[in-house]
Structure 1
């Protein structure tokens, strides 16, 4: 090859590199289009039965952000709507693709879940408003087209803040003696929304919260804000009358006003609020002694904006060298009625004679007929990255736990999870929540997908995040605080930290690989004891809540004695039953024998709230002296040494329960049960954490270090 050819080749290579660099420049455009109805009355969904609106209190909008690097472009759209069905969104994506350079599978459209927007989706007692749908579809398309037309060179930044006082668990677990009926007349409701209005009815929350307020912000190279995409897990505030964008609209307008006052050149800035995983979340904290001070939608929004604007001001911006997006579509089955329920439903629907249902029973009867006709549906899951920021989506009302699963495992520390995106496929409780029942599980188009829908959708989103990142997911697990390390240093037979995120495996954190099994009736990843000795100071310790299920494991024979260490939190009122709950049991399954040993907390009577140890089937038992308050964390160590039984509470050097004349432990009892008795009588109702079993007697020094907090 001559020098001229070499020069041409080199120049061509430089040109390609230069073009590649130019193509990789981040560009962002944003736009807002009003999607308010123009014909009234208009149907409004979000309630059990149908209602209409005749006026607009606050406009509802489609807010679009288009991000491009010259070779790849993605659109992020948030619409003020309760839910928008996949068929409508697919149509809008295809129409937008014809008018832009975007591909349909590179467009994400989500709903804010305001319950005061025009009905775009038929759910429960409300049908979709067929007059409104064409307008909504066209206005969504217009927002995407306008956002692309506004593309300009930009930089991206990430912000994150804790906003715990603005979100809380609304789904609580009911006491086993206060189970409620479902719409089909069956006593299945162990957990339900707002069940904690009467604290005596419940034992605790059914899952964790996600208090993170996150945001992705874009600014021009001149430092002028272009767009801000926020994300928060709070179901909705509630506004009246419709039509209203709820707090989402107020938040977006407030953010835009703040930005334009600070940056006069940012006249066209677009702020949007996407819906985080909020299926079991609302604004009222039933665990708090006093109601929230933010009693109005405006005071709530203003206070949340104070956190948001401080977070925005602290964001540092950078160039994004990579834009990627991946999508998966697959079918899921509905939980269709059996023949008996279908016949019951059809008889009720026939009496409606084409009219909309007016009672809860009529609503759910009609839903059974509709699910029977549908049988299955296609769902859409997406993941995308903008530089070192990831976004994952679900087409559902997803529990906070589902979002935490993705955030905890994502290869990106900066990960946002947007729900009700690309479809309106209803609630997907984690699989272990289904046996607890409640509104979120009652089969309907708004909650009708198969029991395994949540793990399948979360697994798909996680796989897509891995795909766009090119990296594997992060392993689950909490860091070890000094008390945890002391437990490990004592060489436990098995150590279950109970920080798992799903059933059925309780991971053994010792080196012995002795995983245990969760039975149905256990929920996961709630906040455990607030002790820096257990985990990192800036990371909450996690535990499991037991609601009728147990943890069970084989331990082999321990003829010379054993020890058990655990944290416990009792959810049962003292007068609920004779034994509030059994914490630990060693006996043959399905029975209590003369050789069994059981440790629990007394319920009603003069010894209410005290530890109790019982051996065999006699009526005699050992009772402690300290009354343990409900809903408080406590630590115990049970030591069994020959005929000697000792139980220590909260690090005390004096035994709370002690006997020198108990029968020796029977070596043939090779199973233990945590969170319940061997015969399933009075199983634990509350939280447990950091359970360690030792096939020997712990020393006083070991117990002291393990109990430190």
Structure 2
């Protein structure tokens, strides 16, 4: 019989226990391998002419200048899978997103509450929902839903080991608050003849009547970047609080600067020839009161698409600078939370309805160019709305990065407040996400009046909606930060 010394026996028992514990951990703990996949599905209409929203009057397009896409990034850290989809559309109603999420979830297994879908807010896309005098392009809605679904499914099918990181760029040159105080004595008209507005949206640039902007801007350019283990770029998701650029002929569709940014950033980081194809997206931050007009100095007339090219190139260069500072991680914690809250609706009263009915009855049949008639028609539409609506809100944690979503054209003040108070640094916001519920002025901005507050299908939430939405998003950030 072989004798084993007590020290040797002790060492053997310790090693056996360690091996057993390691085996149990390897079976019970998820593998800490990050995987990612990205795909851009073409959502350009297949038939023309097609309804195109983004204007107070009805508009149809007979061609597409550049393609529209639903771009998707899927991230899986072995514990949690999430999908982020960015669509070249002005706005997309919740019903389309919900249908696409349900279909994609059945195929991929990604929970619907772990899918964030948003619109860029290009004003030259096919209409997915009625706005002002523009109906939805009914023969396009089904195709759009299917392509959003496919973007998620295809991105999920391309999951591969990956690295992820983020950085913050800065570009103050392309964002300007579009709501302005005017000098005393300058009249500001409104379509309801109230005469109570104190600010004007998009006044003449460099006019003697201009006093000062009614709000701030957010120049940040957050960049979320994903690479394959060998360094091949998989995706870049950027964010900028700029409404859109424009300068597109009325008969054309275009992804605006959002699509041009995606093409330019791919070239700047040498990601133009990769397999699977590299995917870049520019999400819209909080730009309900922000645009690309330099009201302080004005600017000259440009050819169609020229300003789009200039803005995209400038913001892409800022994103590239941030990209060069990204520190990539092979694994990060990922959490996502979703909730639904109820917000009130500003419905018209009896007197407002009677005024609107008389204006419409006394006018020739539409479509109309007179704003009083356009908003009278909107008043009659809003009279049919419910007293409250439910909106879907989400928060994401990717490492120390926070992302929140809003289904509204959210004012920059809200985004800045969320960034300041968020427990995750940095944090950025994606608006027009998971539905469309119009403009979201703060109570203070509501008191100033102006276009963004005028009640219509694109501005109908109650005055107290913004504080409720902001508080909910901060609470969700607190949950995912824990």
In the superposition, the TM-score normalised over structure 2's length comes to 0.91
Alignment partners' CA distance in 1, 2:260 and 2:245 = 11
Distance verdict in 2 for CA 1:193–1:372, change over 3 Å: same
Counterpart pick for 2:471 among 459, 482, 504: 459
- In the other structure, the counterpart of 1:115 is 123
CA drift at 1:130:
0.9
Q: Is the 8 A contact 1:176 1:190 kept in 2?
A: no
Cα displacement string for residues 376-404 of structure 1 (whole angstroms, at most 9, x for unaligned residues):
21111110011111101111111111110
Counterpart pick for 1:302 among 313, 328, 350: 313
Alignment partners' CA distance in 2, 1:131 and 1:12 = 61
- Name the structure where strand makes up a greater proportion of residues: 1
| Structure 2: unaligned runs, 5 residues or longer | 1-9
Q: Does 1:98 align with 2:99?
A: no
- In the other structure, the counterpart of 1:46 is 54
- In the other structure, the counterpart of 1:516 is none
Alignment partners' CA distance in 2, 1:66 and 1:153 = 12
- Written as runs of structure 1 = structure 2, the 5 A alignment for 1:480-559 is none
Q: Is the 8 A contact 2:205 2:297 kept in 1?
A: no
Q: Does 1:359 align with 2:367?
A: no
Cα displacement string for residues 10-47 of structure 1 (whole angstroms, at most 9, x for unaligned residues):
66642342246543322111001000111221111111
Alignment partners' CA distance in 2, 1:330 and 1:455 = 12
Three-state SS of the structure 2 residue aligned to 1:227 is: strand
Distance verdict in 2 for CA 1:353–1:177, change over 3 Å: closer
Three-state SS of the structure 2 residue aligned to 1:422 is: coil
Q: Is the 8 A contact 1:367 1:444 kept in 2?
A: yes
Distance verdict in 2 for CA 1:39–1:16, change over 3 Å: farther
Counterpart pick for 1:269 among 269, 278, 303: 278
CA drift at 1:267:
5.2
Distance verdict in 2 for CA 1:100–1:239, change over 3 Å: farther
Q: Does 1:325 align with 2:336?
A: yes
- In the other structure, the counterpart of 1:377 is 389
CA drift at 1:126:
1.0
Alignment partners' CA distance in 2, 1:60 and 1:9 = 58
Three-state SS of the structure 2 residue aligned to 1:146 is: helix
Alignment partners' CA distance in 2, 1:16 and 1:179 = 75
Cα displacement string for residues 402-455 of structure 1 (whole angstroms, at most 9, x for unaligned residues):
110111111112111111111111111111011211100000110110001111
- In the other structure, the counterpart of 1:203 is 211
Alignment partners' CA distance in 2, 1:353 and 1:24 = 67
- Written as runs of structure 1 = structure 2, the 5 A alignment for 1:25-64 is 25-64=33-72
The one of the two structures with greater contact order (alpha-carbon pairs below 8 A, sep at least 6) is 2
- In the other structure, the counterpart of 1:232 is 240
Q: Is the 8 A contact 2:247 2:307 kept in 1?
A: no
CA drift at 1:292:
11
Three-state SS of the structure 2 residue aligned to 1:195 is: coil
CA drift at 1:311:
2.0
Counterpart pick for 1:247 among 250, 257, 265: 257
CA drift at 1:368:
1.3
Alignment partners' CA distance in 1, 2:127 and 2:61 = 10
Q: Does 1:339 align with 2:339?
A: no
| Structure 1: unaligned runs, 5 residues or longer | 471-709
Q: Is the 8 A contact 2:343 2:462 kept in 1?
A: yes
Q: Is the 8 A contact 1:259 1:266 kept in 2?
A: no
Alignment partners' CA distance in 2, 1:321 and 1:9 = 29
Three-state SS of the structure 1 residue aligned to 2:242 is: coil
Three-state SS of the structure 1 residue aligned to 2:384 is: helix
- In the other structure, the counterpart of 1:278 is 287
Distance verdict in 2 for CA 1:127–1:356, change over 3 Å: farther
Q: Does 1:75 align with 2:83?
A: yes
Alignment partners' CA distance in 1, 2:451 and 2:20 = 64
Q: Does 1:410 align with 2:410?
A: no
- Written as runs of structure 1 = structure 2, the 5 A alignment for 1:618-637 is none
Alignment partners' CA distance in 2, 1:196 and 1:420 = 28
Cα displacement string for residues 536-561 of structure 1 (whole angstroms, at most 9, x for unaligned residues):
xxxxxxxxxxxxxxxxxxxxxxxxxx
CA drift at 1:197:
2.7
Counterpart pick for 1:175 among 166, 169, 183: 183
Three-state SS of the structure 2 residue aligned to 1:180 is: coil
Three-state SS of the structure 1 residue aligned to 2:196 is: strand
Q: Does 1:437 align with 2:449?
A: yes
Cα displacement string for residues 635-678 of structure 1 (whole angstroms, at most 9, x for unaligned residues):
xxxxxxxxxxxxxxxxxxxxxxxxxxxxxxxxxxxxxxxxxxxx
CA drift at 1:289:
7.2
Distance verdict in 2 for CA 1:173–1:20, change over 3 Å: farther
